[in-house]
Structure 1
Amino acid sequence: WYYWFYLQNVLFAWRGSWPAERILNHFWSLAVEEQFYLVWPLIVAALSRKNLTRLCGILCAVALGLRFAMLMQGYPGVTTYALTFTRMDSLCFGALLAIGLRNASFYPNTTKWFPGLLLTSGLLLVGVDVVWPVLKSQDFAAYTLGHTLIALFFASLIGTLATVPADHVLYRGFSLLPLQTLGKYSYAIYVFHRFAYSIMHGLSPISASESIQGWVNFGGTVLLSLLFAKLSWTLIEQPFLRLKKYAPRPDECPAMGQAVVMEPPAVASLVPSNDAMPSAHQPREADVASSGQH
């Protein structure tokens, strides 16, 4: 029943370990997102844009501090990895990004900041990893500072892609059709990829070498995941998305138009959108990954 109520991340954190069957382990991140979406609109409605910005900064610091404190107290890494309170920094970076892009007075300046912030955060991430392995899976550094630095980097990347000119090398690169296709089906790919892998693993020939078997499993998992995602899009997601015409958003920010920006686990959020931005500074559609606006 934990999965039906999007509480599986709490279950994993309470147990301090991942389920043995593994096929639904990755659903922890879906629970974190849904818990955030359940509460965040109420917070947005209650706070001014200025106070919302301050709250995001505070929550980022709290999440990072909680991870340090809990790990130093001996809590399992899974606990800090899967709880919403310890992963709020990733979500709040997305909220800060959305606030900046929807603020008429603040937005023009963000176009100047994002490329530099992207470069700085990337160099910082790699530089810190050299002396402290923040990119090493299941390491203290990765569980703590690593999550924050990675979230900052991807928030900067999305901000850059949403604001640079269409002829910018990054914009052109992330607008390639294969990436747009992956973005369109990304949600279902994420949902089904472990199931696809379990099918391929069960079909793997016992006599094949480990290297060949690994590549066959990988290729088959990718293809099956795409197939399942295509079916999900056609039979479930697209019909639901068509219903949006019956409930249009009256407060949609004109400058944002119908832009679809890539949302990695962790940078999607809701912010008030009643301040239109100057048309000369409109963030365009970053075709990096039209995720179907899940």
Structure 2
Amino acid sequence: MSQEKKETYFSQLDGVRFLAVALVLVDHWLTERNPFPLGHLGVTMFFVLSGFLITRILIQSKLKDDQFGRSHWFSVKQFIIRRSIRIFPIYFLSIFALYYFDVPPVRETLAWCLTYSTNLYIAINQHWMGTIDHLWSLAVEEQYYLVFPYLILFLPTRNYLKLLWIMIVISIGFRLYFYFHGSPWLIQYVLMPTALDCFGLGGLMAYYFTFKKDEVFEKIANGRLVILSFVVYAICVALTQIQQKETHQIYNFGNLVAERFFAAVFCFFLIAKAVAGYSGFVKWFFENPVFQYLGRISYGIYLYHNFVYNYYHTPQTSIVLRGLHKIQRIIPYFTLNLGFELLYFLILTIMLASLSWYCVEKPINYLKKYFTY
């Protein structure tokens, strides 16, 4: 591995990606049997991680532009091309495959899918989209990419901290506004502006890592702060659930306003420590070769998992469930065995994501070397 690659690649972050996607899978496949907001935490983890990685890439690009005396539009072009190479191929292949096989509601919402605006469709129509529910978070990230790179590349570096804190405040402000105006919960859950505190905290991490590594970053990359922030987040979740039981209302101030922020703060410290490097058991977990591999293919795992199985929308006639039932008929012990069913769905998802990685994503990713910053 080259020296430049060593300086830009943080191995434990693949372990973080695995953790994030694992939380989402457990939440989506267990559904009501899981009382904890694991999926929400997993998506928040992805958002904070994206905020860190994208902001760091853009800051480094801006510094290189200044060093070489080139236009920042060069880095805009490189960013768009590299992101497109990484994200678009399997996303659009999936959409076209779902369209071809007439998987609802893709044909009815094709324009929303192709323009990465399924989150807007969900917010406007106040309902989810079946097997493509999860695409809302990919839409949020793409909408974030439409604006944020220009801010980092064209604003003076002295304004970065102000920008990132404004993003955090605006995001919380949006959630407060929607909450006190009684807006449906889906609006504040799926819109890009309401997730800006996650991206902003990730951006703060990138700023401190780049410009204040000794003074600030090494202080926030602290295991004690990871534990403390998790305790605060867990208390927030517990208080939210207590309020739900007392008021008999599913949604309240806790899970509509506060929970995402405290989850993002926990992810901020968790990821900062992973960038610096964990030791002990956490190091083993995040650097385990199996988990590292699953982290590398986590985009495919996330994209495909709902197509493999969705508790609410997968018909009993699907090839996945027919295969499961055939195994259960052959080995009755596995009938109504939740652990086996989850393992079965996981193996199929990993197989599909691995096929996608080696046949599509990895070969296409080689093109990125022609578009370096």
Asked whether the two chains share a fold, i.e. TM above 0.5, the reply is: yes
Greater mean deviation of Cα atoms: 87-96 or 116-125: 116-125
1:124 matched to 2:213? The reply is no
How far has the Cα of 1:221 moved from its partner?
1.2
Pick closer, same or farther for the CA change 1:219–1:138 going to 2, 3 Å: farther
CA contact (8 A) 2:132 2:306 kept: yes
| Distance in 2 (alpha carbons) for counterparts of 1:174 and 1:62 | 33
- The amino acid of 1:173's aligned partner reads F
Q: Give the aligned partner of residue 217 of structure 2.
A: 110
- The amino acid of 1:179's aligned partner reads F
How far has the Cα of 1:101 moved from its partner?
1.2
How far has the Cα of 1:168 moved from its partner?
4.8
Coordinate RMSD, CA, aligned? 2.7
Greater mean deviation of Cα atoms: 216-225 or 127-136: 127-136
| Distance in 2 (alpha carbons) for counterparts of 1:25 and 1:134 | 28
What is the percent sequence identity of the aligned residues? 25
SS in 1 for 2:198: helix
CA contact (8 A) 2:334 2:340 kept: no
Q: Give the aligned partner of residue 163 of structure 2.
A: 55
Please report the TM-score for the alignment, with normalisation by the length of structure 2: 0.60
CA contact (8 A) 2:230 2:266 kept: yes
Q: Give the aligned partner of residue 351 of structure 2.
A: 227
Gaps of 5+ in 1: 250-294
CA contact (8 A) 2:197 2:264 kept: yes
SS in 2 for 1:153: helix
CA contact (8 A) 1:133 1:139 kept: no
1:150 matched to 2:263? The reply is yes
CA contact (8 A) 2:236 2:258 kept: no
Please report the TM-score for the alignment, with normalisation by the length of structure 1: 0.75
Q: Could you say which structure has the greater relative contact order, defined with CA pairs below 8 angstroms and 6 or more residues apart?
A: 2
**Structure 1 segment 131-142 matched on structure 2, within 5 A:** 131-133=239-241, 139-140=251-252, 141-142=254-255
Q: Give the aligned partner of residue 8 of structure 1.
A: 118
SS in 2 for 1:229: helix
| Distance in 2 (alpha carbons) for counterparts of 1:158 and 1:13 | 30
CA contact (8 A) 2:220 2:272 kept: no
How far has the Cα of 1:48 moved from its partner?
2.5
- The amino acid of 2:276's aligned partner reads T
Greater mean deviation of Cα atoms: 237-246 or 27-36: 237-246
Deviations 1:154-183, CA, capped at 9 Å, x for gaps: 121111011136x45433331112210210
CA contact (8 A) 1:114 1:159 kept: yes
How far has the Cα of 1:238 moved from its partner?
0.5
Which runs of 4 or more aligned residues in structure 1 lie more than 6 Å from their structure 2 counterparts after TM superposition?
134-137, 206-211
CA contact (8 A) 2:197 2:261 kept: yes
Gaps of 5+ in 2: 1-110
Corresponding residue pairs, total = 245
Greater mean deviation of Cα atoms: 224-233 or 204-213: 204-213
Q: Give the aligned partner of residue 101 of structure 1.
A: 209
| Distance in 2 (alpha carbons) for counterparts of 1:147 and 1:212 | 34
- The amino acid of 1:2's aligned partner reads W
Greater mean deviation of Cα atoms: 140-149 or 49-58: 49-58
CA contact (8 A) 2:176 2:257 kept: yes
Deviations 1:148-207, CA, capped at 9 Å, x for gaps: 111111121111011136x45433331112210210110000000011113534545398
CA contact (8 A) 1:77 1:138 kept: no
Q: Give the aligned partner of residue 175 of structure 1.
A: 287
Q: Give the aligned partner of residue 191 of structure 2.
A: 83
Deviations 1:40-82, CA, capped at 9 Å, x for gaps: 1101012223312211112112211211221221211111110
CA contact (8 A) 1:118 1:157 kept: yes
| Distance in 1 (alpha carbons) for counterparts of 2:346 and 2:352 | 10
Deviations 1:205-231, CA, capped at 9 Å, x for gaps: 398799725434322210111011111
SS in 2 for 1:183: helix
Q: Give the aligned partner of residue 286 of structure 1.
A: none
**Structure 1 segment 64-83 matched on structure 2, within 5 A:** 64-83=172-191
| Distance in 1 (alpha carbons) for counterparts of 2:167 and 2:241 | 24
CA contact (8 A) 2:205 2:217 kept: no
